[in-house]
Amino acid sequence: MTTKNALSVGFLLFPQLTQLDLTGPYEVFARAPDMTVHLIWKNREPVLSDSNLAIVPTTTFAECPPIDIICVPGGPGQVDLMEDQETLAFLKRVASTAKLVTSVCTGSLILGAAGLLKGYRATSHWSSIDQLSLLGAEPVHERVVWDRNRVTGAGVTSGIDFALTVVADLYGSDIAQGIQLALEYDPKPPFKTGSPAEAPEALVEAARSAMVAPLARRRAVTERAAKGVL
């Protein structure tokens, strides 16, 4: 689907998002030719991430222009958004005309709560990917999952892979490779613990134990959201 036309991407901002879910792909899309990037929230007040990084919206739900790509990041604040009818209505409206409907990490659960992943293959953070099935999606344990015009990235750092994949489709692999080179995106992590498939079992269990309470709350909200989706 290579294009030479100017395109726009809109990132949903919300309190307690994980900033790298957004800023990783943002950096990629901002370097694509003739790509306009919007940061969208209900108002223009700075939004605090889960690590207290303030991000300033560039437009609001009411003022947002038509966009070609909508992207929803994840983070702890994602749970509240799954029952935020104003946000879900905005996503449904934008998705109805967008060329691509996308997410990173648990942002896919927000898309699911809006009814936008029903019948689609999708991915999410490893700790919560199973919850996608509650919302009518087919969970897929891959870094980037593309199904028709839905594109989802797995946990946090996969947002860079996701964005490069989209840019390659829209502009060609040469452009995407040039952006990857400019960013020196050449990951060589010091440890082989970035996935439950590779991390020691004890480390995975410790991580799961630390997330018991937030995961239980996320699942409870997902189950409630599913009643309105399925």
Running DSSP on this structure, what letter comes out for residue 153?
E
- The two tokens of residue 209 are 């134990």
Place of tokens 């840019």: 167
- The two tokens of residue 116 are 């936008």
Rounded Cα distance between 103 and 129, Å, is 13
Q: Tell me the sheet residues that pair with 30.
A: none
105 is catalytic: yes
> Where do the DSSP E strands lie in 148-221?
150-153
Q: Quick check: 47 and 16 in contact, CB under 8 A?
A: no
Q: Which of 7, 91, 105, 135 is catalytic?
A: 105
Running DSSP on this structure, what letter comes out for residue 149?
T
**Active-site residues: which are they?**
105
